[in-house]
Amino acid sequence: MGFVEYEVKGAYAVITINRPEALNALNSGVLDELNSVLDSVDLNTVRCLVLTGAGEKSFVAGADIGEMSTLTKAEATAFGKKGNDVFRKLETLPIPVIAAVNGFALGGGCEIAMSCDIRICSDTAMFGQPETGLGITPGFGGTQRLARLIGPGMAKQLIYTARNIKSDEAFRIGLVNAVYPAADLMAEAEKMASVIAGNAPIAVRNCKKAINEGLDLDMDDAIVLEEKLFGDCFESWDQKEGMANFLRKKDDPAKVKHVTFKNE
């Protein structure tokens, strides 16, 4: 493993794309390693992930333009599928993923951030889909996820103009949830990961599933999906103890305690 670092920090873990000499651009090697790292996450112990880029300048500056430049149509389609498969694995991982965008998030970099559940960024971050300036379309899900996240009108404007935007504009249009001074970004991301990891893991997973899968359904079916995932929580120790703890607190405030959820 050289292009992707994986560090477990208790109940959450940090994945770092580590190719700073190319601003963490995604070549086949990076995508293969990221795929392996995602497969290796121990979902019994790790309850949330943070994804970031190595170095101070870039999160991910896109797919590797050198590698793409000589591809045939068939090879380009296959490369697009390779990236899409990894990004979809990230998006559908049972546990939440926070993108800590610490610099350039261009092309495939913006697309991988959009495959995460939550995006926060440094005040130095820059987002964009520069592909039409390179003679291609976004190919790792950008046309789909950007339109879903910020609406088709704004997504079309950004993609057709290939204009990069700074962190304040990314915040204003809802592409990121929060902007922090660069020096504080990782601490803030890890603080959020720790909070998420402290909540009932089965409930958090079911929320992710309900939101992700429900968005592709009409409201009648989406509500049925939520009912099922809600009901499933009632087979968990975490639900029984979480609610019992609340009731104990009501009886006697001295009994206040933090529930250490068991993921069972």
Known catalytic residues?
111, 131
* CA 249 – CA 251 distance, rounded (Å): 5
Binding region for ligand CO8 (CB under 6 A) out of 113-121, 127-135, 186-194, 245-253 = 127-135
State the helix-helix crossing angle for 142-150 and 152-161, rounded to 10 degrees.
130
DSSP secondary structure of 194-228: HHHHHS-HHHHHHHHHHHHHHTTS-HHHHHHHHHH
The encoded tokens of residue 259 equal 């529930």
Nearest distance in Å: CB 2, ligand CO8: 16
* CA 95 – CA 49 distance, rounded (Å): 7
Of the pair 76, 222, the CB lying nearest ligand CO8 is at 76
Q: Is 106 in the site for ligand CO8 (CB under 6 A)?
A: yes
Q: Is 105 in the site for ligand CO8 (CB under 6 A)?
A: no
Q: Is 62 in the site for ligand CO8 (CB under 6 A)?
A: yes
Q: Given candidates 66, 152, 181, 231, which one binds ligand CO8 under the rule CB under 6 A?
A: 66
Q: Is 53 in the site for ligand CO8 (CB under 6 A)?
A: no
Q: Given candidates 11, 38, 134, 186, which one binds ligand CO8 under the rule CB under 6 A?
A: 134
Nearest distance in Å: CB 22, ligand CO8: 4
Of the pair 81, 262, the CB lying nearest ligand CO8 is at 81
Taking the CB of residue 148, how many other CB atoms lie within 10 A of it?
14
Nearest distance in Å: CB 219, ligand CO8: 33
Nearest distance in Å: CB 191, ligand CO8: 28
Cα angle 67, 91, 198 (rounded to 5 degrees) comes to 130
Per DSSP, 92 falls in state: T
Of the pair 66, 152, the CB lying nearest ligand CO8 is at 66
Buried b (16+ CB within 10 A) or exposed e, 180-219: beeeebbebbbebbbebbbebbbbbbbbbbbeeebeeeee
Nearest distance in Å: CB 60, ligand CO8: 8
Contact positions vs ligand CO8 (CB under 6 A): 22-23, 25, 61-66, 68, 76, 79-80, 83, 104, 106-108, 130-131, 134, 138-140
